Amino acid sequence: MSKDPNIELEAKTPNNRPRALRDIISRSQGKSGIVYCSTRATVEKICEELCAAGVPATRYHAGLADEERRQNQEDFLYDRCPVMVATNAFGMGIDKSNVSFVVHYNMPKSLEAYYQEAGRAGRDGEKADCILLYSGSDIFTAKHLIQNSGENDDLTEEERRFVQKQDYQRLDIMIAYCKTLSCLRGNILDYFGQPHEKRCGNCGNCLSEHIMQDITSEAQMILSCIKRARDRLGYSVGATLIIRTLCGSSEKRVAALGLDQLTTYGIMRTVNRTLLREYIEHLESSGYLRTDPVHGGVELTASARNVLFNGEQVQMPIRKPAAPEVRQIKKPGVAIAPMTDADSGLFEALKGLRFKLAQEEGVPAYIIFSNAHLADMARKAPGNMAEFMNVSGVGEVKASRYGKVFLEAIAEFAGSEKD
């Protein structure tokens, strides 16, 4: 996956994750894709929402009965339900080449897991998107899963602590991937020790511009609030409570802890909470804050003093959308030129024939011809067997088996266009 030029990697923090997912699926309408979620409950919720929105989706997780998992997997393989919503229990041994997008609705626990799951897209050589929708809350979910994993029950306490330490280290690397402004493909290749160009030119970061924004004033208010909360309570609280305090929230938990009595209470009430969380995450990644891995409280580091008392400035990169022309990436394989309206019409007709044949033979549609091969067939519109043999993906076996029926369909479509 990491070296394939047809795969476009992206990691982003949307304000509204459900809406962002629907937008991605809408742009990929009619295509096959996988949506990975971190928990069974999220799988159920997202699958239900997609189905209610008219998306032909199905689900897969270890809590389903064996028969339902088998049926749902087949529905996905045979394109009856082209969108699969699943936990990481899905995917091993799945050979489906026409997956056009893989969305991680939640951040995986490690870069290894992400690499494996995202790599299930674009195996047919067509353009594919691998999009990670990241939120700060994913960190707490991932830590909860690490702390409560039942996989280590047979280990000694010392062994369990060692495994958890490694899991936390992998999680830190995954978090860094989500936040990096450098090339995403290069980030993965670095992790696996593979050489690469400085920029791949085909990931969300390479296709975007960034400007530096001075957030020193905002950083001072946040760091001051964290310090004052700690001084009052004698222990650190999580980022969510800090954000509520800064925004002047009237929620009971804030008042119960006396955080509404702090001088920093409500000092950033005009700032969007999502942006506040991004500030806190940036302060942590820059070394001014740390999060207690067990209790989740955010604490000042020694470096924070330089911002609070010594005039050190804090700069935060803000991503600008890339200009439209920058995103015109040359597609690999046979998809070199855009289809005409006639090509597109023939392509859809050929897809319909492929689906019919797949149903009759009891095989996934891509086993007959991939989308890339059908696209090339639609562009070339062969009129005889010799021309059919020049279509990408067509060899003697497939020409013998499918040539006649596809040539007839192409001729029929050409005739209907003239009428």
Give the per-residue pLDDT at 257: 96
Asked whether residue 1 is domain-assigned, the answer is no
Residues 349 and 217 in one domain: no
Q: Dig out the tokens for 354 from the structure.
A: 């492929």
- Report the C-alpha gap between 366 and 120 in whole angstroms: 14
pLDDT at residue 65 greater than cutoff 70 = yes
Q: Out of 34-48, 143-157, 300-314, 342-356, which region has the weakest mean confidence (pLDDT)?
A: 143-157
In the chain, % of residues over pLDDT 90: 48
pLDDT at residue 318 greater than cutoff 90 = no
**Length of the chain measured in residues:** 419
How confident is the model over 14-41, as a mean pLDDT? 91
Asked whether residue 193 is domain-assigned, the answer is yes
301 compared with 161, residue with greater pLDDT: 301
Residues 162 and 41 in one domain: yes
Q: Which of 208, 229, 254 is the last residue of a domain?
A: 208
In the chain, % of residues over pLDDT 70: 91
The domain of 311 spans 212-320
Pairing between strand 209-214 and 315-320? antiparallel
Give the per-residue pLDDT at 40: 94
Give the per-residue pLDDT at 202: 86
Burial status of residue 181 (CB atoms within 10 A of its CB: 0-12, 13-18, 19 or more): exposed
How confident is the model over 130-156, as a mean pLDDT? 80
Residues 29 and 176 in one domain: yes
Q: Out of 49-63, 328-342, 403-417, which region has the weakest mean confidence (pLDDT)?
A: 328-342
Residues 37 and 167 in one domain: yes
Give the per-residue pLDDT at 419: 55
Q: Which residue in 419, 349, 333 sits closest to 381, CA to CA? A: 349
Asked whether residue 330 is domain-assigned, the answer is no
Residue 367's pLDDT band, with cuts at 50, 70 and 90, is confident
pLDDT at residue 123 greater than cutoff 80 = yes
Residues 184 and 306 in one domain: no
Residue 67's pLDDT band, with cuts at 50, 70 and 90, is very high
115 compared with 148, residue with greater pLDDT: 115
pLDDT winner (highest mean) among 173-182, 222-231, 329-338: 222-231
How confident is the model over 100-112, as a mean pLDDT? 94
Cα–Cα distances in angstroms (integers) from residue 344 to residues 17, 374, 381, in the given order: 32, 10, 11
Residues 308 and 367 in one domain: no
Residues 191 and 67 in one domain: yes
Q: Out of 221-230, 337-346, 351-360, which region has the weakest mean confidence (pLDDT)?
A: 337-346
Instruction: Look over the chain and give the mean of its residue pLDDT values, rounded to a whole number.
Output: 86
Residues 27 and 61 in one domain: yes
Asked whether residue 329 is domain-assigned, the answer is no
Cα–Cα distances in angstroms (integers) from residue 378 to residues 41, 348, 372, 391, in the given order: 42, 9, 10, 9
Q: Which residue in 18, 33, 16 sits closest to 129, CA to CA? A: 33
The CATH number given to whatever domain includes residue 362 is 1.10.150.80
- Report the C-alpha gap between 127 and 130 in whole angstroms: 10
Residues 174 and 58 in one domain: yes
Side chain identity at residue 191, one-letter code? Y
Give the per-residue pLDDT at 376: 85
Side chain identity at residue 211, one-letter code? I
Q: Which of 208, 233, 256 is the last residue of a domain?
A: 208
pLDDT, tens digit, 9 for 90 and up, residues 168-201: 899 989 988 988 888 999 999 999 988 888 888 8
Give the per-residue pLDDT at 347: 87
Residues 193 and 227 in one domain: no
In the DSSP assignment, the letter for residue 350 is H
208 compared with 337, residue with greater pLDDT: 208
pLDDT at residue 267 greater than cutoff 80 = yes
Asked whether residue 2 is domain-assigned, the answer is no
- Report the C-alpha gap between 240 and 40 in whole angstroms: 24
**Residue 60, φ and ψ in degrees, nearest 5:** -155, 120
Residues 232 and 194 in one domain: no
Query: How many domains, in total, are found in the chain?
Result: 3
Asked whether residue 352 is domain-assigned, the answer is yes
The CATH number given to whatever domain includes residue 230 is 1.10.10.10
Residue 328's pLDDT band, with cuts at 50, 70 and 90, is very low
Residues 178 and 34 in one domain: yes
- Report the C-alpha gap between 32 and 76 in whole angstroms: 8
Residues 289, 283 contacting (CB under 8 angstroms): yes
Q: Which of 149, 173, 208 is the last residue of a domain?
A: 208
The CATH number given to whatever domain includes residue 78 is 3.40.50.300
Which residues lie closer than 8 Å to 166 by C-beta, 6 or more apart? none
How confident is the model over 344-354, as a mean pLDDT? 87
254 compared with 328, residue with greater pLDDT: 254
**Residue 209, φ and ψ in degrees, nearest 5:** -105, 155
pLDDT at residue 392 greater than cutoff 70 = yes
Asked whether residue 394 is domain-assigned, the answer is yes
Asked whether residue 335 is domain-assigned, the answer is no
